A and B are shown apart, each in its own frame.
Chain A
Amino acid sequence: DIQLTQSPSFLSASVGNRVTITCRASQGINIYLAWYQQKPGKAPKLLISTASTLQSGVPSRFSGSGSGTEFTLTISSLQPEDFATYYCQQHSSHPPTFGGGTKVEIK
């Protein structure tokens, strides 16, 4: 199985801050990396697929980049509704796997 390692596992930031989360894959996955946002008590929501494709309705302050084994999710200006846990998921090979998550909290 492909292992995904997210860093940091926790970050504290203020509204308006630029935030970057990294996801590293144990082997190359081309661009087949997705990002999800999960708020407490809710199901995850797909934000980005194929490393950088923003899903319909997702604010443009979210962006993704990377290929191969290293990927990043960037929130250009953190908003109150962005405080959540973010997960990466590889959709390159079976079985699909997820990173351990990054919790973004209010500073």
Chain B
Amino acid sequence: QLQLQESGPGLVKPSETLSLTCTVSGGSISSSPYYWGWIRQPPGKGLEWIGSLYYSGSTYYNPSLKSRVTMSVDTSNNRFSLRLSSVTAADTAVYYCVRQPFPSVTATFDYWGQGTLVTVSS
């Protein structure tokens, strides 16, 4: 059974960089044709797609966050990462790592991590 697990600091200071890692188990991140990505959900609010990547390193970001987002993949350790720079309180959210079952950034999201709350506060 495929499992995704987010890890990283739960508290980040304003203007600093949020960094999260998603470790995949029960399957290979290099398996075609899946994309892997990040979605966030501010407390009590809706869902926002942040970006997705392919194991080859191709990345696709939400235009609303593109200037601050970097995603990368580590196939040797079966994991991928998110970096979000210059964070503000508006970036406080539960961050989910996800899998997309088709080789398209516009595909659905069929596997989700449990989510990790990141709070931006001094």
Give complex CA distance A91, B48 in Å. Answer: 13
Q: Are B108 and A94 in contact (CB under 8 A)?
A: no
We find that the number of chain B residues with CB closer than 8 angstroms to chain A is 20
Give complex CA distance A89, B63 in Å. Answer: 17
Q: Are B115 and A96 in contact (CB under 8 A)?
A: no
| Complex interface: chain B residues within 8 A of A42 (CB) | 114
Q: Are B115 and A93 in contact (CB under 8 A)?
A: no
| Complex interface: chain B residues within 8 A of A96 (CB) | 49, 105-107
| Complex interface: chain A residues within 8 A of B60 (CB) | 94
Residue of A55, A87, A93, A97 contacting most chain B CB atoms (<10 Å):
A97
Q: Are B106 and A99 in contact (CB under 8 A)?
A: no
Is B47's beta carbon under 8 Å from chain A?
Answer: yes
Per DSSP, chain A at the interface is: loop
| Complex interface: chain A residues within 8 A of B46 (CB) | 87, 98-101
| Complex interface: chain A residues within 8 A of B112 (CB) | 43-45
| Complex interface: chain A residues within 8 A of B115 (CB) | 43
Q: Are A91 and B113 in contact (CB under 8 A)?
A: no
Q: Are B110 and A95 in contact (CB under 8 A)?
A: no
| Complex interface: chain A residues within 8 A of B104 (CB) | 91
Is B121's beta carbon under 8 Å from chain A?
Answer: no
A residues bordering B, Cβ < 8 Å? 1, 32, 34, 36, 42-46, 49, 55, 87, 89-101
